[in-house]
Amino acid sequence: MISRRTCLALGLAAGLSACFGSGPEATVKGFYAAVAAGDTDKAIGFLALQSVSANEMIMVKGKVQMMVAAGKTQIDANGGLQDVQIVSQQEQGEAALRVQLQVTFKNGKTDTDNMNLVKEKDGWKIRL
């Protein structure tokens, strides 16, 4: 017989894996959460940058920092981020997707966005 503690641990593990999974929706939600927090380094972790050289990375970091600042400003102006959902996705080959998102802000406003994602060895990443 499984103890209550074991059931609780399994349920918690399943719940956490659903929240922090490596699927496309987890990638998109994680990226938007990083932008809402103004965390450039965390946002960069959701981007497909395997082919970027060390010299190019300096320029990429600067551009992402500006993008995160602008995104955070928009999110803050709308009362914060409430939810991000993928409303449609199209396969673009075996390991690539084009997704349409609906972003819901805490003031009730919504916005749509499109992103290209690519599956890398460590999960789905956003292609710039």
0.85 surpassed by pTM: no
What does the pLDDT read at residue 128?
85
pLDDT of residue 9: 37
User: How does 117-126 read in b/e, with b if 16+ C-beta sit within 10 Å?
Assistant: bebeeeebbb
User: How far apart are the C-alpha atoms of 85 and 28, rounded to whole Å?
Assistant: 8
CATH number assigned to the domain covering 22-127: 3.10.450.50
Query: Where are the domains positioned within the chain?
Result: 22-127
Ramachandran region, residue 108 (left: φ > 0; alpha: ψ -120 to 50; beta: rest): left
Q: Which tokens in the block code for residue 19?
A: 């929240």
54-77 helix and 24-37 helix, angle to the nearest 10 degrees:
80
| pLDDT at residue 11 in the model | 38
E strand or H helix that includes residue 34: helix 24-37
State how far the alpha carbon of 90 is from the alpha carbons of 28, 78, 83, 112, in Å: 15, 29, 21, 16
pLDDT in tens, the chain (128 residues): 444 443 333 333 333 334 445 699 999 999 999 999 999 999 999 999 988 898 999 999 999 999 999 999 999 999 999 999 999 999 998 899 999 999 999 999 999 999 999 999 989 999 98
- pLDDT the model gives residue 80: 98
